[in-house]
Structure 1
């Protein structure tokens, strides 16, 4: 539980610590600020008039955890233009432009801030900031549309899936019988699951599990679980799909023993917690194959007259591995 909680805290802290792009200016000359729409922008390949005088350098880089949508090229360029105007310049020459890469999800811009006589500034260049902002708006719209399309592809999964699986399972909790104590015990597991997924990969499901095993003294253990669950699913590739379910449901636990002539059994009912994660491959639009891990936990009443204080948790913990079929409705 501590690991899960600390992981959630990490995500929350990362989200809350998102920063804005970082703008840094180094001035060699100080001049009064001027309107941002008076700044002319020259690209790396453009020739700057010889009358332009350098007054400093500016760079717009990733602030550390800057969301991509806040540092598209148009946005970073507009920040450099505003810093140039704030520093008293009316010319911004782009020296270097780095695209998003493994080091940063942002565009990064380095430039030289310059000043030249206003008479040399062409009238049609006075709207350069407006053009940059319009370019940024268009770039952001393209980015947003690309993200929407990516999300649609990511969650373009079958809406209704029936999963049938079987395989080995292991009781992970310490189990004591008349013949001794078992640290682990292997058994057999069968499951049947259904999930309905809505948009954005979230949905609901229902799960059934059976687990059975036999101990050395002919003690047989059977467990049946059924209950609802929250479900999630997304595509890992063109035909590969990942899904997860977390549920709380009814569990029937039965122990029985027989000596060949007589048999004795005892059953109890409890609430159990189930977590499930798996991948499946779509062989066609109607059927697929999958591999799945199930985790199950059910608490039990501590018996009277037996010291169980060494156990933080008293009950059954189980891990199952299943291989089976997927049917797409």
Structure 2
């Protein structure tokens, strides 16, 4: 862990503005990044690559000064400082390692890799090269989670004792035109949506030391519901309903429920309960949203005004944060590794029917002051 923790410090001197970004992977998620990256003061998209050249060309055509390149040429391009890795989870470590070998920083979609073994290889390679490997989600940098962080740190709800985190949907195959990877290794509700919730819980309550859990997969097939493949049946190779308890180093207990087998829920996405009050935290898959508190002896639920985070942020804000922190981004590889380790440990606990100790740890990322994007 010591090598990984020092990598951002050694890389800080390499950070200049604008940070020049090469996107690898121009699938469904790139649309959300393109809504944010052109708005960032210190970030420039200079290149895009995809196994389908037409998709890379479509992205490049939307960004002034960007060009479409084959993956190998993008990795070698001297004007690319950081590779934004938007490939499918199974390819995350392969592309990240190639980017690092080419002397590039790398920021990837979650999870950091399909396995902790692959993620460790990425972090170790970055540390040896003096480069930074960071990882989504960066939703925790928005005003939603960060306002909750200010409240927790300020003792508004007293000492946190428990939390709940709930995500219940009928499955992404209903809306995603190519949902196969959601039901393959590295997918499922825990590994797809869990990073948002676990990252928020670690940001708010600190690292996790042990987990217990249970999991199931009640259907071995799913039917694609939209796009040119609508009606096609795909296989399911992962657990599609996962529940567990995370024991934080602080002593707080978080109950986590992640499901692709439900229809809907009225539960708050995240609730934090403390000795002096309870708090509703907005959906960690979004950047903003109202934070509500209900204090012991108070008059019911009250909305807190935004007090932390990047206001108006969207996916890709981590790259602006990369520059503003001098190469020590809050959405760090260390945090991404710990989140992945927690999720792997939870699946192992479910499979083995026992408490599993989480081998890794991380520091809580430093808070984000309330920051208006220019």
TM-score of the superposed pair, with normalisation by structure 2: 0.18
**Higher-helix-fraction structure:** 2
- Taking structure 1 as the reference length, the TM-score comes to 0.19
Point out the structure with max Rg over C-alpha: 1
User: Greater share of strand residues, 1 or 2?
Assistant: 1
